[in-house]
Every structure is written in C-alpha cells, then in structure tokens.
Structure 1
Amino acid sequence: MKSKIKERFPQWCSDNEDYELMLTDDIDSLVSCALLKKIKGYETNYYYDFQTIYELKESDVPAIAVDCDLVNGRCWSNHVTMLSAKDSVNKKSANLNNIGKISRDNYFQKFCGSTAIQIWSFYDIPLPETEEGKMALLCLDVGFKGHYDSRFIEIHSKYLKALGFPELIEVLERHTSTEFYDLIRKYNMASKIKLNKNGMLTTDIDIANLQCLFSLDLSRPDKPFYIRREFTRDWPTCLVNYKTYTKDDFPEMFSVALINRNKVCFTKIK
C-alpha cells in the first residue's frame, strides 16, 4: 500500500494493543478475520448477522467489527457509508471509502474491492502463489466486478495500483467475468456463514480448498455463541435523489452500507 494512503488509516490498525474480532456472515469477513489472526493474533469472540450480535464469552477486550461498517467504533470494511457529501464518517473505520470521503455524490469514484484485499495490502501480505488463488482473492465480495464495468474500470485499476497489486490487473485482463463467477460457484463463495440451532457456526462455503488457495487457516470457533444484543434491520431503504441525507436522518443507526447509489442498508438499536 502506498505510504500516503496507509498513513490515513486509523492508528489502531498499527498499534500493539489486544483486540477481539467480530465476524460477520460471509467469506470476505472470514478471510479478513483469518488474516488479522495470522498477522496480529486477534481471536474471534463475536458474530454479527446484521440483526443480532452473538458472543462466545463475556469480555472487556475492545472489539473490531470485520467487514461491517459501524457508525461508531473500530471496524475494517469496504462499504460506502456517507449518505451525502455533507455526511460524517466514522474516524475509527479502516475503510478506503471512508478515508477517501466517498459518498452518494462521488459514488463512481468508490473503492469496489473487498475488505480482505485492503488488509492484505495494509499488512504487506504476499499474494497467493497460484493464478486461481489470485482469482479467488479477487472474487471476495465480487471484487473483480469493477474491472468489467465501464463506470468503474479506471478507478478500479487505480485502487489496485495504490494497494500495490498491479499484478492483479494483469490477472483480470487474462480472464473474463464469467470465469470469476464460475470460480465463485466452484467454491460456494456466495454462501453465508450462519449459526445453527446449537449456536455453532456453519457454512456451505468450500473452506478446505479455499484455505489451501490462500495458504490461510480459515477455521471457525468451535464453541457455541450466545445472544448479546439485538437490532432492527432496515434493508433496503431508498434515498430520494433530491434530498441531502446524513446519518442524522436515521436515529439510532448502528451499522450502515450503501448497496447502490440510492439505497442504504442499516441496522439500528432496538
């Protein structure tokens, strides 16, 4: 990652404090948590399905939400969260879109890669060795898609260069979007991570083969989770084009993400 970008990330990303992780419900979060455990030694103690936060055990250790944009608090993520250019951002968010003040107003300048690839870059982790491993990395959060969209291709390549991954642009140029979607299906990467009736994490994602591609331990906690806090989910809410929104228009918002330029998904505290 270019130093002028890295220095704009929150200080907690570089400190040596102890943190715990809050896993969310997809492969991007799982890979991101695995990277943070490998590099920083952080353990997963929470799971958030965007309606309820579950915990393994009570803890006073500060938490980092992973692949989830909190309105306040530490998080690694990749979503656009500013509802207009006048909106505020969470200053503790490690997210290129928040750091770059990307909003509805400049939406087509957004970073449209994954949370994991930001972590990969920030901590200078070597890319997967194989072509398929590099493709799988680009599949996280459909991070290849911008390369094949005329609205995003230029900015998509700009971000990959800034992250220090020009090699991935060459990978994209060697393949079609269909090949990437085929890879997603091959490893069931679109499947969700859920809790079963016993509170254990379960998924249909092909974890065994993906962790070989990434040379990364993708194992999940093997103990039951218990409800800690419940939320109300508003998904999606349409944003009327002519109004300048901010988060103040949505009281008690807890986590937020624009799912396209005119729709927002968020949870709020009950």
Structure 2
Amino acid sequence: MRQQYKDMFPAWVDFIDEDFDLVLSNDADSLLSCLFLNKMFGWKINYFYDFNALYQIKPSDRDRIYVDIDVVNGKGWGNHVVLINKTDKINKQMANLNTIFKVHQANYCKKYSASTFLTILSYYNYPLFLLPREAQLITLSIDAGFKGFYDKYFQQFNYFYIHNVLDMDYLFDLQKQYSKDDFYNVIGTYNLHEKIYLQNGKLATKIKLDELAKLFNFNKDVINDLFSATFTQIQEFEDVCIPLNANPNIDLSNAFSFALTNKNFAKLSLYKEGVQHER
C-alpha cells in the first residue's frame, strides 16, 4: 500500500507486537484475513460472530480485533460502506478504506469493492505476487472484488484502489487475462461463497479449507484446532435490515455492527435488552 494511504489508518494496526484476540465472522474473507494475521503476528481467533450472537472459546481480557466486521465501537478491519451521510460520525478505530475515503450513500458507486483480506495483505506489504497464480485469483475472487474491472464505468474505481492505493498493479493486470466467468469458477471451485456457522458448538463450513491452506501456506494445525474448539455464546443480538429510503436517519446508539449492503439498504446488529454492552 502506498504510504500516503497507510498514514490514514488507525495507529493500532502497527502495534504488531501486542497480543490481540481475533474475532472471526461467517465468511471466507474474514477467515483468510484471520489466518493471515495469525500467521504473521501470532494472534489467535478466540471469538466468532454470526450477526445474531457473539461466541468465545475461552474468557480473555485481551483487546479484540474484529475482522471483516464493521463494529460501531472497537478495533477492526473492514471493507463495508458504513456512512449514510458524509458527515456521519465514524469509528476511528476501524481500518477500512471506505471509511478513510468517506464513501457514503450518495457516492456509493465509488466504493472500494474488494476484500478486507486484500486490504490487509496490501497494508502489511505481503508479496502476494510470489504465491501461486491460483492464490492471486482467489484473492481477487473474494467478495467478487473483480467485478468492477468488467464494467466500463466501475473499472476506473477498480484501477484506482488496486493500482493507486493498494499498489498491486500486477493484480489489475491479472484481471485482463481472465473473464468474469473464470473468476466465478474460482469462487465455485473453492466454495468461497459458502458461510461459516456453528453446529453443536463447533465451527463448520463447506469452504475448501485444505486447498486454501496449501495455496496460502497457512498452518493446517491452526485450522484444525479452530474447527475442533467449542464456542460458547456470550452476547446476543437482533439482526436487522433497513431500507434507507424509508429510514434516512438510523439510530446507532444500541448498534454493535453496521454496514450498507447496497446503496439503499442497511444491515445492523442491535444489542438485545438485558445484555451487557461490548466494552
């Protein structure tokens, strides 16, 4: 990532010698991001969040990093649009390009549409170009980050973020060699569209974990330990979807997470009554 943009990120992202707990969300973007942060800095996944509840493996007083989860308060990596209006209050502890560039409902089409995983790889200057071509294609396929390249209008934003901000021009050029269908085939091959969920207190998924671990050099023991651990619910939420046209102003005072899922639709998790709020 180019330094001028790295300088806009919250300071904590450089506290790599501190011991944080990671909070995993329910998709491939969060999982690969967490596995990368574990590989690089030794931070362990101790929590799982599925928008309806927060679960933990064991009690901990370490600071949490919410990964691919745009929380209203707390530290995290994200990639969602979280502003309805440009002047809305932001969580300054979120490392999110769409927050940094003040993307909001009115200029939603200018958003960074690639993955949280790609943001993290770029920020920490990871040499993705040294990994197999298939790994590079997977990185572009997560969250369908490639889609903007194949649209005449959106290609300018695909170029701006990948080339000018992330400083990964080889990924922009890589898109020229493949079709949209090629990338959708990658998504299907590795089940990148599948969710992560809890089944009898343990994580389960149809995402092709073994293949991804091999391509990205992730420790399989870490993955096996994660999917054999038992999670216990510690917080419950109400998962709410709101059309923005009917609700131009949303009260986030009782919200745990919030994001625009498209220009005219918002998704948020609200604390349920009687549940202690996240610190």
TM-score band, normalised by shorter chain: over 0.9
In the aligned structure 1, how far is the partner of 2:193 from the partner of 2:102? 28
Corresponding residue of 1:232: 238
1:130 to 126, 129, 132: 132
CA RMSD after TM alignment: 1.4
Displacement of 1:86: 2.3
- TM-score, with structure 1 as normaliser: 0.94
Aligned twin of 1:143 = 145
Q: Which residue of 1 aligns with 2:276?
A: none
Aligned equivalents of 1:151 and 1:28: distance in 2? 25
Q: Which sits farther off after the overlay, 120-129 or 75-84?
A: 120-129
Equivalent of residue 178 in structure 1, options 173, 178, 181:
181
Contact 1:84 / 1:244 at 8 angstroms: preserved in 2?
no
Counterpart check, 1:163 vs 2:169: no
TM-score with structure 2 setting the length: 0.91
Offset from partner CA, 1:224-247 (integer Å, 9 cap, x none):
000000000102x11117x753x5
CA distance in 1, matches of 2:167, 2:188: 28
Q: Secondary structure at the match of 2:105?
A: coil
Residue 264 of structure 2 is matched in structure 1 by 262
Contact 1:22 1:44 in 2 (8 A): yes
Gaps of 5+ in 1: none
Q: Which residue of 2 aligns with 1:7?
A: 7
Any idea what SS the aligned residue of 1:174 has? coil
Retained in 2: the 8 A contact 1:257–1:265?
Answer: yes
Residues matched between the structures, number: 265
Q: How many Å apart are 1:155 and its aligned residue?
A: 0.9
Unaligned stretches of 5+ residues in structure 2: 273-279
Letter in 1 for 2:2: K
Query: 1:123 Cα shift?
Result: 0.7
| Displaced runs of 4 or more, over 3 A | none
For the residues of structure 1 that align with 2:83 and 2:152, how far apart are their CA atoms? Answer: 23
Are 2:223 and 1:217 aligned? no
How far 1:142 moved relative to its partner? 1.2
How far off its partner does 1:250 sit? 4.2
d(CA) in 1 for partners of 2:179, 2:49:
34
